[in-house]
């Protein structure tokens, strides 16, 4: 009996601390969080857009830029910075694109946007004798859009968007092209806009100092949470909870590529089964994104 008691104590002495360590390694917090699923054109989690100079008359471009800013604000995922007067521009070549006069390298969350106006006119349609109606005026606007990510990769290569709007009287003629511009820009915004979806995720809550950041993410402030976690990662590059939680946020922002990169940097022993399954899901999500599904 005494031998059994001694063995039990030895077992407690050896297993107890290791059980605690294993508990710390696998400590997590499952939550349902609103994330973003990429739209038809994935920006890979980039949500800060820098608008640079495009072609077209200044007054026409300003109409396009204003409606773009309004639509992106309504979208809630993107934010737009006007750097059209900064002297930054795109220089295309056979292997891609260079960004000229760039003072600061883009972050993972940023990209450049150039909009060129290729059509901006009003077409007059004659009186229709059957219904005794007319003349009418058709505003036609065509734009091409170029999106370039931080690595100089072209996400959209002068993709055209064309729209028309109708005016029934001469009093509306001056506004009909602006109406068409709103519709053309809306096509582009619909292309890049991700869709919100509820996702089940698991945080690493072993670092109690990150509670406010994780609460921020759960309340829908993913951009702010991601920025804070990235700052912490830069300050403490080997912080496992920071790396893991940043990967989760980047995944929720629609960037499975960086999420995978971050998970690859974690210790092999860290939550081995969970990480393996998570990486598999991310790989499948990345493949679907690359295939445009």
| DSSP letter string, 232-259 | HHHH-TT-HHHHHHHHHHHHHTT-HHHH
Query: Rounded distance, CA 201 to CA 218, Å?
Result: 10
Query: Rounded distance, CA 6 to CA 15, Å?
Result: 14
Q: Tell me what percent of the residues of the chain surpass a pLDDT of 70.
A: 86
Is the predicted pLDDT of residue 232 greater than 80, yes or no?
Answer: yes
Provide CATH code, domain 48-192: 3.30.160.150
Cα-based torsion angle of the residue sequence 151, 103, 69, 258 in order, rounded to the nearest 10 degrees = 30
Q: Report helix, strand or coil for 201.
A: strand
**Between residues 4 and 71, the one the model is more confident about:** 71
Looking at 1.20.120.1200, 1.25.40.10, 1.20.910.10, 3.40.50.2300, the CATH number of the domain 27-38+196-290 comes to 1.25.40.10
- Confidence class of residue 100 from pLDDT cuts 50, 70 and 90? confident
Structure confidence by residue, pLDDT tens digits, 22-62: 334 445 668 899 999 999 999 999 999 999 999 999 999 99
272, two tokens: 């081995």
Q: First CA to last CA across the chain, in angstroms?
A: 66
pLDDT of 28 reads 63
* Domain ranges for the chain: 27-38+196-290, 48-192
Average pLDDT over residues 77-105: 81
Is the predicted pLDDT of residue 191 greater than 90, yes or no?
Answer: yes
Which residue in 171, 185, 200 sits closest to 143, CA to CA?
185
Structure confidence by residue, pLDDT tens digits, 211-223: 999 999 999 999 9
Among the listed ranges 16-25, 71-80, 191-200, which one has the minimum average pLDDT value?
Answer: 16-25
Among the listed ranges 15-24, 46-55, 93-102, 152-161, which one has the minimum average pLDDT value?
Answer: 15-24
Is the predicted pLDDT of residue 94 greater than 60, yes or no?
Answer: yes
Return mean pLDDT, the chain: 86
Q: 0.85 exceeded by the pTM?
A: no
Contact 50, 111 (CB under 8 A): yes
Query: Rounded distance, CA 213 to CA 226, Å?
Result: 9
Burial 117-151 (b: 16+ CB within 10 A, else e): bebbeeeeeeeeeeeeeeebbbbbbbbbbbbbbbe
pLDDT of 9 reads 52
pLDDT of 18 reads 41
pLDDT of 14 reads 43
- β-bridge mates for residue 199, sequence order: 33
pLDDT of 212 reads 97
Alpha carbon distances (Å) from 288 to 108, 146, 190, 201: 20, 22, 19, 19
**Between residues 16 and 257, the one the model is more confident about:** 257
- Confidence class of residue 3 from pLDDT cuts 50, 70 and 90? low
247, two tokens: 């990967």
**Between residues 258 and 23, the one the model is more confident about:** 258
CA 54 to chain centre: 22
Contact 170, 15 (CB under 8 A): no
258, two tokens: 């960086």
């Amino acid at each position: 009996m005494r031998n059994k008691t001694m063995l039990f104590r030895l077992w407690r002495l050896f297993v107890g601390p290791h059980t605690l360590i294993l508990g710390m390694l696998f400590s997590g917090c499952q939550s349902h969080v609103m994330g973003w699923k990429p739209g038809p054109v994935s920006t890979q989690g980039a949500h800060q857009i820098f608008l640079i100079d495009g072609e077209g008359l200044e007054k026409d471009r300003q109409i396009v830029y204003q409606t773009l800013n309004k639509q992106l604000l309504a979208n809630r995922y993107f934010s737009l910075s006007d750097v059209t007067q900064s002297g930054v521009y795109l220089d295309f070549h056979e292997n891609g694109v260079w960004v000229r006069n760039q003072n600061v390298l883009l972050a993972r969350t940023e990209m450049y946007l150039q909009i060129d106006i290729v059509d901006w006119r009003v077409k007059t349609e004659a009186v229709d004798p059957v219904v005794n109606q007319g003349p009418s005026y058709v505003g036609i606007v065509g734009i091409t859009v170029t999106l370039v990510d931080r690595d100089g990769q072209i996400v959209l290569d002068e993709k055209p968007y064309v729209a028309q709007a109708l005016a029934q009287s001469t009093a509306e003629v001056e506004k009909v092209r602006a109406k068409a511009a709103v519709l053309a820009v809306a096509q582009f915004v619909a292309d890049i806009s991700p869709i919100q979806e509820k996702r089940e995720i698991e945080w690493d809550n072993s670092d109690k100092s990150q509670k406010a950041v994780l609460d921020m993410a759960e309340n829908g402030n993913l951009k702010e949470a991601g920025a804070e976690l990235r700052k912490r990662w830069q300050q403490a590059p080997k912080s496992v909870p920071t790396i893991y939680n940043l990967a989760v946020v980047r995944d929720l922002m629609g960037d499975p590529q960086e999420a995978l990169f971050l998970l690859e940097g974690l210790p092999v022993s860290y939550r081995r089964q969970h990480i393996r399954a998570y990486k598999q899901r991310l790989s499948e999500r990345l493949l679907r994104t690359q295939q445009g599904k």
